[in-house]
Amino acid sequence: MSSGLLIPPFMFFMLGGIIAGFLKGSLRNALLIAIPVLSLINLAMIPHGVYLEYEFLGHQLALFRVDKLSLVFGYAFHIVSIAVLVYGMHVKSNKEFIIGLIYAGGGLGAVFAYDLITLYVFWEIMTVASTFIIWRKDSMEAVGAGFRYFIFHLVGGLALLIGIILYITATGNVAFEHMGWTNLATGLIMIGFGVNAAWPFVHTWLVDSYPKASFLGTVMLSVFTTKTAIYTLARGFAGEETLIVIGAVMTAFPIFYAVLENDLRKVLSYSLINQLGFMVVGIGVGSQMAINAAVGQAFVHIMFKSLLFMGMGAVLHQTGKIKATELGGLYKYMPFTTVFTIVGSMTISAFPLFSAFVTKSMILSSVATEGFMVVWLVLLFASAGVLDHSGIKIPFFAFFGHDSGLKPKEAPLNMLIGMGFLAFLNIFLGIFPGYLFQILPYEVTYNAYTADHTIFQLQLLLFSILAFTLLLRSGLYPAEIRSINLDFDFFYRKGYKVFVWLVDNILIRFMDFGKALFFSYIPKTLKMLTRNPVGLLLLIVPDTRFKGLREKMAKSEDGYVDGLVEYWSIGLSAFVICFFLLFYLLFFLVNKLI
């Protein structure tokens, strides 16, 4: 099955990342561009199939599988890597690139993994690498958020691992194929994927950590972790109807937060969950059209979401500020960044002629075709919400709105090229969706550009803009306030105090009691009792008997135990334990031999 010269895509990224660590200046930059470009060419030449098989614990695994579903994500990861690496090229330090490339390699390894064990390994590589990306931002906030992020993903990864072990033990099947939620094992696997897909209540790691990474780190983070999760859900759990409900909740609840949030990268983080919700719904519907739609949405989402994070990253990079209350009026000084961000905003809002219009229409149509009316109405409501937070709020508060008095320079050329490249792709794929349709898993017969549909979408968007305009001019639109909004992470970021109180006051007291009982009261009592066994026995018989012995006892030194204490040292304890273990081992061996 495998050919002679076959290099899996993650090798380019991981090895390239390590080599890049030793280079400087333009040589390093040339390598940074060469990595994704060469890897993409390599990937395009590999025919569909399973490659690089190996054996592990008696299971036949394979490092690398190429098929249509994994290729969509593979292509997207490569294309966006080119843009991100160009965007960050002026950064002198190599560290972010080393970690970033290993992280991207982990993402590629995961989407091309053939079996569950290989998938799990790359999954955890991503967890570790992304945590270090968060920590690259040198602030206490980022350190704390990184730890919370790491714990969250460790727990999710553990659920995944237990699920995988149970699944393989029960079925004997290691290949990662469609499984569906059928039992505990697959349920745990789905939850493991769900943590990375930022399901409701386990979404807090995302909105907690992404806004705290560096301007470049956040762009990297926004691409791989969540989209790998979308890929795994699409492969393993397509048509799982629970996902429709989960996805619909994901589209709806973050938009309320996004309206109120002051930190613009946090607005985008909530928006990211909202977009993932659309994909999760599509996966839950599970028809060929819906899977196409969800996967296509993931593809274009990778382009426009990173474009938006790049736009806000550029603002942060140039001004050092990212809160809506501190920004405004930047269109005068950063015109290109403004235009590119607006392209990203129009794409995410699904304006006709922008790529997401096509894919989001497909998702809505596939939901409607199956007759899920309530879900469809929720998604439509969420579409108006997307327009608010990503379509209007991001560009309006950063680049227009009140004049903040900031006069930054335009972002460096390489950042503009990175953004411009993605902006171009968003429009190109919007006008020529055929190129996108070609790489989707199933054949596409869908046409988004019908007259009625285009008009419907424009109605929705234009009247939402009208609503914004009227609310803003009447003063009803909520003013940005320097504040934070409580989310579900409240329960562990404040809840830990309850935990600490419980430990301090109940657990520790209980432990203290146990310590006193086992190390003080019981030994003391035993010592007291064994100090003079004969005397003790004499206590329970009538005083009239053993008179001679009683007199003798009263005269002599009471205990022999005290004498022993002098010799009873740690060494003696260790010796006794060793002796016991040796005896145990001998016993075991003898048993075995007989």
Contact residues: other proteins, CB under 8 A = 255-257, 259-260, 331-333, 365, 368-369, 371, 373, 376, 380-381, 383-385, 387-388, 400, 407, 450-453, 455-469, 471, 476-478, 481-487, 493-494
Angle at which helices 264-285 and 373-386 pack, to 10 degrees? 160
Residue 160, H or E segment: helix 140-171
Which of residues 375 and 425 has its CB atom nearest to other proteins in the complex?
375
Contact 421, 336 (CB under 8 A): no
> CB of 287: closest distance to other proteins in angstroms?
14
The 3-state DSSP class for residue 175 equals strand
Place of tokens 């795994």: 232
Which of residues 499 and 580 has its CB atom nearest to other proteins in the complex?
499
Q: What is the DSSP string of 287-305?
A: SHHHHHHHHHHHHHHHHHH
Which of residues 33 and 259 has its CB atom nearest to other proteins in the complex?
259
Which of residues 186 and 338 has its CB atom nearest to other proteins in the complex?
338
Cα first-last separation, the chain: 48
Half-sphere exposure for 456 (CA within 13 Å, toward CB): 12
Rounded CA separation 136/129 (Å): 11
Which of residues 427 and 460 has its CB atom nearest to other proteins in the complex?
460
| Distance from chain centroid for Cα 101 | 17
Angle at which helices 242-260 and 264-285 pack, to 10 degrees? 160
What stretches of 20-178 adopt beta strand conformation (E)?
49-56, 59-66
Which of residues 41 and 486 has its CB atom nearest to other proteins in the complex?
486
Which of residues 11 and 460 has its CB atom nearest to other proteins in the complex?
460
User: Quick count: other Cβ atoms within 10 Å of Cβ 184?
Assistant: 13
User: Quick count: other Cβ atoms within 10 Å of Cβ 468?
Assistant: 18
Please give the single-letter amino acid code of residue 564.
L
> CB of 388: closest distance to other proteins in angstroms?
6
- Length of the chain as a residue count: 594
Which of residues 39 and 262 has its CB atom nearest to other proteins in the complex?
262
> CB of 368: closest distance to other proteins in angstroms?
4
The 3-state DSSP class for residue 142 equals helix
Contact 136, 99 (CB under 8 A): yes
Rounded CA separation 262/270 (Å): 12
Which of residues 172 and 371 has its CB atom nearest to other proteins in the complex?
371
> CB of 313: closest distance to other proteins in angstroms?
21
> CB of 144: closest distance to other proteins in angstroms?
8
Which of residues 59 and 453 has its CB atom nearest to other proteins in the complex?
453
> CB of 493: closest distance to other proteins in angstroms?
5
Contact 513, 294 (CB under 8 A): no
Rounded CA separation 434/425 (Å): 13
| Distance from chain centroid for Cα 238 | 20
> CB of 447: closest distance to other proteins in angstroms?
10
> CB of 272: closest distance to other proteins in angstroms?
18
Which residues have CB under 8 Å from 61's CB, separation 6+?
53, 54, 55, 114, 115, 117, 118, 174
Which of residues 129 and 384 has its CB atom nearest to other proteins in the complex?
384
Place of tokens 């320079």: 409
Which two structure tokens, joined as six digits, stand for 45? 């030449």
Convert 427-476 into a string of H (helix), E (strand) and C (coil): HHHHHCHHHHHHHCCCCCCCCCCCHHHHHHHHHHHHHHHHHHHHHHHCCC
> CB of 486: closest distance to other proteins in angstroms?
4
Beta bridge partners of 66: 49
**Among candidate residues 46, 37, 42, the one with its CA nearest the CA of residue 80:** 37
Which phi and psi angles does 353 have, rounded to 5°?
A: 80, 0
> CB of 410: closest distance to other proteins in angstroms?
12
Contact 235, 176 (CB under 8 A): yes
Place of tokens 């603002």: 315
> CB of 459: closest distance to other proteins in angstroms?
4
> CB of 464: closest distance to other proteins in angstroms?
4
The 3-state DSSP class for residue 64 equals strand
**Among candidate residues 97, 104, 83, the one with its CA nearest the CA of residue 10:** 104
**Among candidate residues 287, 148, 301, 157, the one with its CA nearest the CA of residue 227:** 301
Which of residues 222 and 361 has its CB atom nearest to other proteins in the complex?
361
> CB of 267: closest distance to other proteins in angstroms?
12
Which of residues 478 and 548 has its CB atom nearest to other proteins in the complex?
478
> CB of 255: closest distance to other proteins in angstroms?
6
> CB of 463: closest distance to other proteins in angstroms?
4
Which of residues 75 and 400 has its CB atom nearest to other proteins in the complex?
400
Which of residues 203 and 235 has its CB atom nearest to other proteins in the complex?
203
